[in-house]
């Protein structure tokens, strides 16, 4: 039997894609392999994304409030739609849960879901419920749309394109480390109060209640920019960059000094003796956008402080590297199996 770790997420997705039959309906434009499936709706393309969150794998209810979890579940799917340069329209939520959850707990979960629906202007239109023997499971499917001339895929980047990211990276991972540390303190002494200082609030918020960057979709449209390729950063910058480069057939040179990292992330990384660059590359759950634009188009973005150029694409698909100030280049690799 083949261990999943030997092929990784990229290999597994490709294996599933190869086992999938060709589309039988002309409305199906694109299936497996991007952030969302694409359908022909006439003037627009329809987009469909699906995400699953499993207790004990994607979240720990020891420190994750159900209201925050509901909001975050919606963010997962909406972020996929934003990565296609689209905006969300409707969503369905399916849950499987055990009898240990009282009715009030489910009310709290859906309070967070409703808050996210209002924030992203998306309608909750259905779903399913089921019993579970392994805790809480949430499945989210989001339907979105994008004008045909603005659709953005992962496989259309070109050599010399500028690689950009929105926001900052690594904060969600350090927020997780803080929460895990407090959990261990609590397990050792349930009378201890959490020690999450106010200056660490940003990191905890980035882990518990991230926001999908639909705002950037609007900004790119206002500037008249259609990225040559785009993907959301859910599994860490390294993993997403590899996805984009492999599908576009390009390489990339990323400059470590250009990767945007918040001051709180730097401080927490030092506290945990973790490289902030490692957190940004492999931490995941930032839900920022990684995208590429032609060099001449980047001028339009240069005044936006929330968008950072971190490198450029090359013609050599074997050259996906992190470059330092000293001129050293290290191959970029995704760390282990990505959930």
Report the binding-site residues for Mg(2+). Answer: 35, 49-51, 80, 128, 232, 235
Q: Are 164 and 309 in contact (CB under 8 A)?
A: yes
Q: How far is CA 273 from CA 98, 188, 269, 278, in A?
A: 38, 22, 6, 11
Question: How many C-alpha atoms does 208 have within 13 Å on its Cβ side?
Answer: 19
- Of 32, 31, 28, 30, nearest to 41 (Cα)? 28
Six token digits for residue 122: 């998306």
Helices 263-272 and 171-188 meet at what angle, rounded to 10?
A: 40
β-sheet bridge partners, residue 261: none
Q: Supply the Cα-derived Rg of the chain in whole angstroms.
A: 20
Structure tokens of 112? 């967070």
CA distance 220 to 145: 16
- Binding site for substrate, by residue number, is 58, 285
Residues 6+ apart with CB under 8 A from 11: none
Based on the number of CB atoms within 10 Å of its own CB, is 100 exposed (0-12), middle (13-18) or buried (19 or more)? exposed
Torsion angles phi and psi, residue 64, rounded to 5: -100, 110
Which residues fall in the annotated binding site for ATP? 110, 127-128, 154, 234
Cα separation, 25 vs 21, whole angstroms: 12
Q: Which residues are annotated as a binding site?
A: 35, 49-51, 58, 80, 110, 127-128, 154, 232, 234-235, 285
């Amino acid at each position: 039997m083949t261990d999943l770790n030997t092929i990784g997420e990229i290999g597994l997705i490709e294996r599933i894609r190869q086992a999938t039959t060709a589309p039988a309906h002309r409305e199906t434009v694109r299936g497996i392999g991007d952030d969302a499936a694409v359908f022909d709706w006439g003037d627009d393309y329809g987009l469909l994304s699906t995400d699953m969150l499993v207790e004990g794998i994607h979240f720990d209810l020891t420190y994750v409030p159900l209201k925050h979890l509901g909001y975050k579940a919606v963010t997962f799917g909406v972020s996929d739609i934003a990565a296609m340069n689209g905006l969300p329209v409707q969503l369905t939520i399916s849950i499987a849960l055990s009898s240990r959850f009282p009715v009030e707990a489910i009310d709290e979960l859906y309070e967070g879901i409703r808050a996210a629906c209002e924030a992203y202007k998306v309608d909750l239109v259905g779903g399913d419920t089921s019993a579970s023997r392994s805790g809480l499971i949430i499945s989210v499917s989001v339907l979105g749309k994008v004008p045909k001339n603005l659709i953005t895929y992962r496989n259309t980047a070109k050599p010399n394109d500028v690689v950009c990211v929105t926001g900052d990276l690594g904060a969600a991972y350090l927020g997780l480390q803080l929460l895990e540390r407090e959990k261990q303190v609590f397990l050792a002494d349930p009378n201890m109060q959490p020690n999450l200082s106010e200056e660490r609030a940003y990191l905890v918020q980035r882990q518990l209640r991230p926001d999908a960057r639909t705002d950037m979709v609007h900004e790119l449209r206002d500037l008249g920019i259609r990225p040559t390729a785009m993907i959301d950063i859910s599994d860490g910058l390294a993993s997403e960059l590899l996805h984009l480069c492999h599908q576009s057939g390009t390489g990339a040179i990323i400059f470590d000094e250009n990767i945007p990292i918040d001051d709180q992330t730097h401080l927490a990384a030092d506290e945990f003796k973790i490289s902030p660059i490692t957190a940004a590359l492999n931490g995941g759950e930032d839900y920022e956008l990684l995208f590429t634009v032609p060099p001449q188009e980047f001028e339009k973005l240069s005044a936006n402080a929330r968008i950072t150029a971190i490198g450029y694409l090359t013609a050599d698909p074997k050259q996906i590297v992190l470059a330092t100030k000293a001129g050293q280049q290290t191959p970029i690799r995704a760390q282990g199996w990505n959930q």
